[in-house]
Structure 1
């Protein structure tokens, strides 16, 4: 009979930690949960190994089991929310993102460059939610407005998307800079087609400036934005 150690030895060149993270990544893609057979096939590990790894992840709270299905656990959620792509960025962006949504109706998205993608680290759904749902953790290709703003240089003008990616949706994006002038993120506002992108761009610029001021003031500091009237 194989021992626990035998079952957890590297499989096909994959170590224990790598196998555990492969299962967690698969669970991230299955918001409603997945069974051990499905996860083992997707991660290319033996079912017995997947089962043992999942049991260990359940024991530390990284995974939750509901019947015969597994989901990402609360402990992993708490650990993940401690990550900061730049010190104080998500806290400094909280109020500006909500004000951007309130003044434009846009879905406001803050992204950072990770693995050649624009990774969403903070978001507020807006009017285009039925067409483009936005969620923290989702990624955009670098040929989108958010991606182009991250790649830079975008200074005088915003990176604009006029239904280039999704029919009926336009987007304006600008870099978010640290107090020292380094690009640390990109801020994008997605609005329904027909909205004046000039006014949206101005609102994005003001929100980005507010985030920069918040970073300069310290973690969690925020500066309110003046209302922007759209016509």
Structure 2
């Protein structure tokens, strides 16, 4: 990214030290502000919308978007922009706990298959529960589940994250959303630390006791997979496919 042509107004770039560290930091902050605005838009956004969302002049937004398109962080469709594939690939590399997402993949799929529940695996980030893995279930499209969605800690999954729990799963009988019931439990690392929460959500009227047992079994499977993963040898670079 060429920091010499970055925005200088609208609160994005400081005016101190032309060409120096402060200017480069301002360009980087401006780029991330645009990416966050694109994420919040839900799909695509135009320059005017992004300028208003970030409080930045349209000319500055144009320049930053051109640079982000150039590195694949943003895609352009006509006069609209959206988050690009390179940003997606970088995001997939993030692990909230070593091996957590790969350890959870099969247990989450199995939990969905045996219960029909919409399943989420969430971690604690900045006083929110952040979904890092999800499998849509019978609640679609009433309650879509997607990776990257953040929700409050007063939900069943949020309460499970805050643990330690006594007396079994956290049950939600339409407490947060009409028509939706949930069972959630902490997911623990082999050393006993809570690293995530696993939640299954079903339409109201279904029994939660059986769902809670299935969620507990899936959480135990994740813990076992984490333990096995710590003993595995790393994949050699020659076996990796570079996209």
Shared fold per TM-score greater than 0.5: yes
Pairing 1:141–2:140 present:
no
For 2:227, the equivalent position in structure 1 comes to 216
Given that 1:214 and 1:220 are in contact with CA atoms closer than 8 Å, whether structure 2 keeps it comes out as no
For 1:199, the equivalent position in structure 2 comes to 210
Q: Secondary structure at the match of 1:120?
A: strand
Q: Secondary structure at the match of 1:65?
A: strand
Per-residue Cα deviation, 1:12-65 (whole angstroms, up to 9, x for no partner): 265111110010011112233111111011011111111101110001000011
> Is 13-22 or 44-53 further displaced after alignment?
13-22
> Is 150-159 or 19-28 further displaced after alignment?
150-159
CA, structure 1 residues 220+188, in 2 after alignment: closer, same or farther (shift >3 Å)? farther
Q: TM-score scaled to structure 1, two decimals? A: 0.90
Write the mapping of 1:50-199 to structure 2, written as runs, cut at 5 A.
50-199=61-210
1:11 to partner: Cα distance: 3.8
How many residues in Structure 1 have an aligned counterpart in Structure 2? Answer: 218
CA, structure 1 residues 212+7, in 2 after alignment: closer, same or farther (shift >3 Å)? closer
Write the mapping of 1:20-35 to structure 2, written as runs, cut at 5 A.
20-35=31-46
The 2-side partners of 1:220 and 1:36 are apart by 49
For structure 2, the residue ranges without an aligned partner over 5 or more in a row are 14-25, 233-243
Give the ranges of 4+ consecutive aligned residues of structure 1 lying more than 4 Å apart after TM superposition. Answer: none
RMSD: 1.7
For structure 1, the residue ranges without an aligned partner over 5 or more in a row are 222-231
- Higher RCO (Cα < 8 Å, 6 or more apart): 1
CA, structure 1 residues 26+162, in 2 after alignment: closer, same or farther (shift >3 Å)? same
Q: TM-score scaled to structure 2, two decimals? A: 0.86
For 1:8, the equivalent position in structure 2 comes to 7
1:104 to partner: Cα distance: 0.7
1:145 to partner: Cα distance: 0.2
